[in-house]
Homo-oligomer: A and B are copies of this chain.
């Protein structure tokens, strides 16, 4: 064990990456943060969690984002194995962007991010929770988990 602390209860796997002393590309947390990296990235993923889109549909859904940033994000997410790009050799060109299985697995991740940020707020349509312990309900469909 590289760093025997309370973080390492006996019997659990001690992944050396859990003890890195610098941000390395091998650390799973860094891998995920790298995939989500950049402004607008989570919004693009949210749109794709709702279903596949063409480039112009994404642009319409996120009108403030510039073309440069949108194509940057799509290229980045494609390289990260999150997004799949379907080029249809036709005229006008048709391209459909879809999430890979790995991309769909980001649903729970975005849900966890949402939950932390939404914690302790006043409830809405779901009903009251005076204790302030309310979390947004985890949707049965993993896809429903991703919001923004």
Residues of A within 8 A of B (CB): 5-9, 12-15, 17-23, 27-33, 35-36, 39-40, 42-43, 46, 49-51, 61-65, 102, 105-106, 108-119, 123-126, 136-137, 139-141, 143-144, 146-148
Contact = CB atoms under 8 A, between A and B. Distances in A.
Given A7-B143, A23-B39, A35-B117, 10 more contacts: A6-B51, A6-B143, A12-B126, A12-B144, A13-B136, A15-B147, A17-B148, A21-B63, A23-B42, A29-B147
A113 B118 contact: no
A42 B22 CA distance: 10
This protein's copies in its complex: 2
A13 B61 CA distance: 21
Please provide the 9 A-B residue pairs with the shortest distance between their CB atoms, ordered closest to farther: A28-B117, A18-B147, A31-B117, A112-B112, A28-B118, A32-B117, A32-B113, A27-B148, A32-B116
5 contacts: A15-B124, A15-B136, A28-B147, A29-B148, A102-B119
